[in-house]
Amino acid sequence: MEAVKVVAVGESGGLKEFVELPYTLYRHDPYWVPPLRIAIKELLDRKKHPFYANADAEFYIARQNGRVVGRIAAIIDRAYNRFHQENAGFFGFFECVNDAAVAEALLKRARQWVEDRGAKFLRGPVSPSTNYECGLLIDGFDSSPMVMMPYNFRYYPELMDRTGLTKAKDLLAYKSHADTIEMGKIGRVADRVLARQGVTVRPIDMKNFQKEVERVWDVYGRAWEHNWGFVPMTREEFMLMGKEMKQILKPELVLMGEVGDRLVGFALALPDINFALKPARGSLLPTGLLKILYYQRLIKSVRVLALGVEKEYQNSGVGAAFYATLVRNARKLGYGDTEMSWILEDNTLMNRALEVMGAKRYKTYRIYDWN
């Protein structure tokens, strides 16, 4: 058998092969959700995407016996390293056949690339940071991922272990079902907490969307700055993400918490657009867009993917009240299942609050380190 060759896509002209590999690997997997190719290409565009204004990256593919058998991105996130005063390197967009030699070759190449640029260790997967899809699925393989959550084969964790990577942190996903949660009681508790703290919660004002997103960006940076793995986003990066989400969000699922005129917290849930993306198979043409528009009307699940409150409110129960309000609003809109993700494994306060609400942990994602 031919040796594994790992080459940068710039050297091989292989960006298309880099993008296409998952569509080949997962073509018979019932749970994988094909992302839109156009969205992946935009995220990988090192000249135009605002993430790369504060980061460097190299994309690699692995070849063996004339075919592409794996891919990986090596990333130096300068924004992360400045903020945490670390010399970290990252890997992301990892995909691989079930072959430990291929995985090791890819991970070694990524580690060498980041070490050549001063990194002391390799961490991932983050694609390309914790503000996007991140973590390796290690349990909960029996259902499709929700919007902006990753999915991978069951053998991926073993590939990490055999190469020598170790757990850095687990990220938890919870789900609540419409028929197993007593929203009346939980809603009353949430209302009391918000009233006691003097916090008024309202939907986002879509007529002033850009201004609202800018206010959220300001709170987001302060609210999350002590979270493990936090990466500050530039205004341009945050606004682009908001623009992309605007196409699918429901105002009742984007909550703004105010004390007077001051924004003190926010919460964001999105309809699970993955349900509509799956039939499109990654392409808008010739019929993909029509399928997305059709199935988008049939979405019955939502994911709570971001929540932040100012420091003085972080131990007040306001965060849990936001969750409860989102779940209640989702029920009113006709959605059934609600996923809350991801939650750090050691965020005891939030994990307990979700369990009290009746949510069940159903997926675990792992971030790895390679020192």
CATH code: domain of residue 344 = 3.40.630.30
Across 133-158, average pLDDT: 98
Q: Domain boundary at 122, 148, 172, which?
A: 172
Across 172-201, average pLDDT: 80
Where helices occur in the chain by DSSP H, the ranges are: 9-12, 15-25, 37-43, 78-84, 100-115, 156-163, 183-197, 209-223, 235-246, 274-277, 288-296, 318-332, 348-356
| pLDDT for position 185 | 65
- Tell whether the model's pLDDT for residue 223 goes beyond 70: yes
Question: Which residues are registered as beta bridge partners of 197?
Answer: none
Residue pLDDT, tens place only, 248-272: 999 999 999 999 999 999 999 999 9
The domain total for the chain is: 2
Across 200-209, average pLDDT: 95
Please report whether residue 369 resides in a domain. Answer: no
Residue pLDDT, tens place only, 103-122: 999 999 999 999 999 999 99
The tokens for 25 are 């690997």
- Tell whether the model's pLDDT for residue 12 goes beyond 60: no
- Asked if residue 333 and residue 188 are part of one domain, the reply reads yes
Please report whether residue 224 resides in a domain. Answer: yes
- Tell whether the model's pLDDT for residue 178 goes beyond 70: no
CA dihedral (275, 237, 306, 247) positive or negative: negative
- Tell whether the model's pLDDT for residue 288 goes beyond 60: yes
Q: Domain boundary at 139, 172, 205, which?
A: 172
| pLDDT for position 2 | 82
CB 90 within 8 A of CB 124: yes
Q: What is the pTM of this model?
A: 0.94
